[in-house]
Structure 1
Amino acid sequence: MNIRSLLATFYSAALSVIGFMLKWVQPRNRAVLLVSFQDNARALLNEYEKSDCPFEIEVLYTRHAVSLAKEYPSVASTMINEKNPVHLMRAVYRMFRSKCVITDNYFLLTSVLNKRPQTKCIQIWHANGALKKFGLEDIGNRHRTASDIKRFKKVYASFDYITVGSEKMADIFKRSFGIKDEQLLRTGVPLTDQYFQDDVQHVGDSGKKVILYAPTYRDYHMTSVKLPFSKEQLSEELKGEFLLLVKLHPAVRGHVMLEEHEGMIKDVSELPLKDLLYESDVLISDYSSIPFEYALLDKPMLFYTYDLKEYDEKRGLIDDYEAVIPGKACATRDMLLEELQNIQHAREKIQWFANEWNQYSKGDASRQLLDFVSKLQGGSVKDKSL
């Protein structure tokens, strides 16, 4: 067992001790949002503030979601550092005081709920589609110890329910988390609600067509970014008609110094994704889940996959990646340039892609989920043991 696995085992054991010490805590008509990504939580809190829900909500957020506290001052919220024992004790206590815990990621914290049937856990995940393998299908598991896999399964077993936006994602969750069909809530994914509303903040008007480049992060290459077009291509082949906006993944934002060029290349990593998606004319992505959201806007997208084989070997893509994406996997800038010049031909496939992966996401996912949580608070939804 390596040091990392050993530390995780001790961490898990400490959580079990904390859970045992606090088992006396009685749940109230409350729900806790355990948040590391903001979009799902924001959609739920927007709906909560305009609804008459018969329960209180409290937000436990990591450092990646700190802005939620300022955006929703009327909602109780606490930042948690998962490495701080006091924070862990506080988080477990708050979860135990609630009849429902809603989470958006893999948190070892939720494993304390396995022996607590009076508190239900709902996993809303942070993406409405998947091009990468995760969970039990993660290829990284080949290098994990038996103790690691056991710990992962312990967390997955804490999910009483999982929200899904499509049958495609339902099948992926069944394989990735080892869950059953009756645990799936076909309510749609809360973060997609924003694409059915008219509250866009414009990020500026350059007078040019806008390309948004939003690559995923590569944990094997965190210190630089490979742009889809050079400044020469933008000014010559594309005749200066396009502005390239670059939104870096939060995990690499602090490690990369992006060279901007006036009127051609601009770093927009700090701006909200939704506003950038609305502002852009074309999206260029790779293995990110952003295309699943962008498809709701019925706008063209391209895929810059210069490291397709390497990424698949090191990180793991879904088996039918190239058949799933609504466009050609472009290995070079020249291929990408050719696809951009014939971009309108992909419109029909994008509509198919949107319908396939956003089957249940129709703009009311947050309301449907809060209605379900309301039923849980009143005990009218039948309990299920995992």
Structure 2
Amino acid sequence: MTIVKFIKPLYTIYYWVGSFVLNIIKFIVKPEDNLILFISFGGKKYDDSPMMIYEEMIKDDRFDNYKLVWAFHNPKDFVIPRGRMIKTDSLEYYITALKARCWVTNSRVERGLSFKGRNTFYFNTWHGTPIKKMGKDISNNNKSFGSKAKWNVDIMTAQSKYEADIFSRVFNIERERFLVCGLPRNDNLATATKETKQTIMSKIGLPLDKKVILYAPTFREYERDKKFNCVIAPPIDFEEWEKKIGDEYIILLRVHYEVAKVLNVKVNNSFVYNVSDYPILNDLMIASDMLISDYSSIYFDYSILERPMLCYAYDYEKYIEKRGMYFDIRKFFLGGTTEEELLDVIKDFSYEENLRLVRKFRNNYVENYGSATSVSIETIYKNIKMK
């Protein structure tokens, strides 16, 4: 699938042949009114909004008679309550998708193809608010070319009108299909307390006497190795960070799931904790006292916590040229374009000034949060309930 994704002629063949075959098979396969298919990040994880919806759904007796199925690249790596698991990109996966009464995902179910079951309600939560260019706004020269498939979603959740307006246009989805209720994955950010923070810090194994900085840069899809792995080489010397701020802070390093390797970054267990493989991003946000990122949609989610955020945009001009953004994130937050500037801001930190900027950002871009899971479940049930 990695090869198909990044070699355009091969993807074109895959798309037309695969879509044609599945759209014939769907008239042979009998739909099941009580089957719901879940998939997160294309089968990579058991997390995010689909997991939040699933774990509430299995507590809801209205769904007791529903068959709940999760799709993963490697099902043996996961343990889930109640439901069964299948492997993505298998015949069983595509047959299950065609039979399903409902799809719940935060990305796409179709695996780069164009098909939908005859009786399928497609509920998509997506996985973030757009800051970088998306869909048809992405340059034709970008290596991460878009899928040819039409978005056949019935409902897509959003955190704001800003988000819904952009996704409607770039994914060619009717604006009325957007449910501006927030993202289910962010509900627990709205209810996080000091006690929650300390519990999670202990769970991760962090010292309770230090402030925690979460450094979460996004990936650069235009920087890949010969095996199509994303790479990232931020100009960072964490030894210098430790000298300047190590008495007060520790660092949680969280790179995007697209990034296969972290280059030029030395990690130690006393100051820098590499938590890139930690399964629950919300835990890391709640455990931290401050966020540093670049062009990641994590800013929108983290703003719900109402904690300081800094922007380290060391390659802003290159990123604008190669990927593009909807607005200049540097105008919203303190930070810098060099490591020295960033460390100076952290050392001379103005907490109240930073929170003022965070609140302004949240008011602009995150209109709804806190109850998205319950709203999503009600919406799904209303649309698929068995008579």
Q: TM-score range by the shorter chain?
A: 0.7 to 0.9
SS at match of 1:337: helix
Mean alpha-carbon deviation: is it higher for 159-168 or for 18-27? 18-27
Larger helix proportion of the pair: 1
Equivalent residue runs for 1:220-239 within 5 Å: 220=223, 222-226=230-234, 228=236, 230-235=238-243, 237-238=244-245
Give runs of aligned pairs for residues 115-126 of structure 1, distance below 5 A.
Answer: 116=117, 118-126=119-127
Which of 16, 20, 24 does residue 16 from structure 1 map onto? 20
1:49-73 superposed Cα distances (whole Å, 9 cap, x missing partner): 2222346253343338876x41x23
> Which residue is equivalent to 2:175?
181
Cα distance change on mapping 1:181 and 1:63 into 2, 3 Å: same
**Is 1:105 the counterpart of 2:104 in the alignment?**
no
* 2-structure distance, mates of 1:3, 1:294: 31
Cα deviation code 1:141-183 (max 9, x no counterpart): 3569xxx77x53x332x12221111111111111221122211
State the number of aligned residues.
359
Output one character per residue of 1:76-103: Cα deviation in whole Å (capped at 9) or x when no partner: 22121x3xxxx0x322221222222122
Q: Distance in 1 between matches of 2:327 and 2:275?
A: 32
What runs of 5+ residues in structure 2 fail to find an aligned partner? Answer: 225-229
Conservation of the 8 A alpha-carbon contact between 1:66 and 1:79: no
**1:269 maps to 2:268:** no
- Contact residue 284 and residue 303 of structure 1 kept, 8 A: yes
Q: Quick one: which amino acid aligns to residue 51 of structure 2?
A: R
Question: Is this contact kept in 2: 1:300–1:347, CA < 8 A?
Answer: yes
Q: Aligned pair 1:278/2:286, yes or no? A: yes
1:38-77 equivalences under 5 Å are 38-54=47-63, 56-63=66-73, 69-70=78-79, 72-77=80-85
Give the deviation of 1:258 after TM superposition: 4.1
Which residue identity lines up with residue 41 of structure 1 in the other structure?
A: P
Query: Deviation per CA, 1:292-333, whole angstroms, max 9, x where unpaired?
Result: 12111111011111000111111222244444xx30352111
**Equivalent residue, structure 1, for 2:318:** 310
Q: What's 1:241 paired with?
A: 248
- Cα 1:56–1:228, aligned 2, differ >3 Å: closer, same or farther? farther
- Asked whether the 8 Å contact 1:187–1:361 carries over to 2, the reply is yes
Q: Match for residue 160 of structure 1?
A: 154
User: What's the secondary structure of 1:370's corresponding residue?
Assistant: helix
**Structure 2 counterpart of 1:190, one-letter code:** P
User: Higher mean Cα deviation, 221-230 or 163-172?
Assistant: 221-230
Corresponding residue for residue 227 of structure 2: none
Distance between the aligned counterparts of 2:75 and 2:256, measured in 1?
14
For the 8 Å contact 1:27–1:96, the answer to whether it is kept is: no
Matched, 1:26 2:25: no
Quick one: distance in 2 between partners of 1:110 and 1:27?
24
Q: CA deviation at 1:253?
A: 4.2
CA gap of 1:207–1:260, structure 2 versus 1, over 3 A, is same
Query: Which consecutive segments of 4 or more residues in structure 1 shift more than 3 A?
Result: 62-67, 106-114, 196-200, 221-225, 227-230, 253-258, 319-323
Letter paired with 2:339: R
Give the fraction of aligned pairs with identical amino acids, expressed as a percent.
24
Which SS does the other structure have where 1:53 is aligned? helix
CA gap of 1:107–1:8, structure 2 versus 1, over 3 A, is farther
Output the CA distance in 2 between the equivalents of 1:238 and 1:369. Answer: 43
Q: Select 2:378's aligned residue among 351, 358, 371.
A: 371
Query: Is the CA contact 2:232–2:261 (under 8 Å) kept in the aligned structure 1?
Result: no
Matched, 1:328 2:338: no
Change (3 A) 1:17 1:239: closer
The alignment yields a C-alpha RMSD, in angstroms, of 2.9
1:5 is matched with: 8
- Residues 103 and 239 of structure 1, relative CA distance in 2, 3 Å threshold: closer
What is the CA-CA distance between 1:379 and the residue it aligns to?
Answer: 7.8
Asked whether the 8 Å contact 1:286–1:304 carries over to 2, the reply is yes
- Separation of aligned partners in 2, 1:227 and 1:52: 52
Q: Is the 8 A contact 2:33 2:386 kept in 1?
A: no
Deviation string, structure 1 residues 172-215 (Cα, Å, up to 9, x no partner)? 11122112221111232111122134565222225222211111
**CA apart distance, 1:251:** 2.6
Could you say if the C-alpha distance between residues 117 and 123 of structure 1 is closer, same or farther in structure 2, counting changes exceeding 3 Å? same
Mark the CA change 1:96 to 1:374 in structure 2 (over 3 Å): closer, same or farther. same
SS at structure 1 position matched to 2:273? strand
Q: Of the candidates 208, 217, 224, which is equivalent to residue 215 of structure 1?
A: 217
How many angstroms apart in 2 are the aligned matches of 1:174 and 1:268? 34
Which residue identity does 1:278 align to in structure 2? I
Higher mean C-alpha deviation, range 288-297 or range 314-323: 314-323
Q: Which runs of 5+ in 1 are unaligned?
A: 381-386
What is aligned with 1:384?
Answer: none
- Report what 2:266 is aligned to: 259
Q: Is the 8 A contact 1:53 1:370 kept in 2?
A: no
Partner SS state of residue 188, structure 2: helix
For 1:268 and 1:143, the matched residues in 2 are separated by 29
